[in-house]
Amino acid sequence: MSQSKDDFLNPRAAYQGDFTPKNLVFNANLQEFANRVNLICNLETGGKISSQEAYKQIKALWKQLKQSSKNLGINKPKE
């Protein structure tokens, strides 16, 4: 089985938690966040971007992830 460039650069793990469509979507968003943070860290470590730029990009990604969680209602208490 051949692996595409995208699969190599952005690996995905199978979802293992309680299955709901919201949880599945958030898990995909969380994996994307982790992959992008890893890439940003590697760029900073390799001297391609500054520490300040890495921080700025990761902070923006974190805000997106928090908004995703809020929009999906992931952290709301169950009634």
Can you tell me the distance from the alpha carbon of 10 to that of 3, in angstroms, rounded to the nearest whole number?
11
Q: Is the pLDDT of residue 31 over 80?
A: yes
Give the residue among 29, 31, 25 at the shortest CA–CA distance from 12.
31
Average pLDDT over residues 61-74: 95
Can you tell me the distance from the alpha carbon of 59 to that of 13, in angstroms, rounded to the nearest whole number?
24
Strand, helix or coil at 15? coil
Residue 22 · residue 74 · CB < 8 Å: yes
Q: Of residues 5 and 33, which shows the higher confidence score?
A: 33
Average pLDDT over residues 49-54: 98
Can you tell me the distance from the alpha carbon of 54 to that of 25, in angstroms, rounded to the nearest whole number?
26
pTM, two decimals, is 0.76
pLDDT band of 51, cuts 50, 70, 90: very high
pLDDT band of 78, cuts 50, 70, 90: low
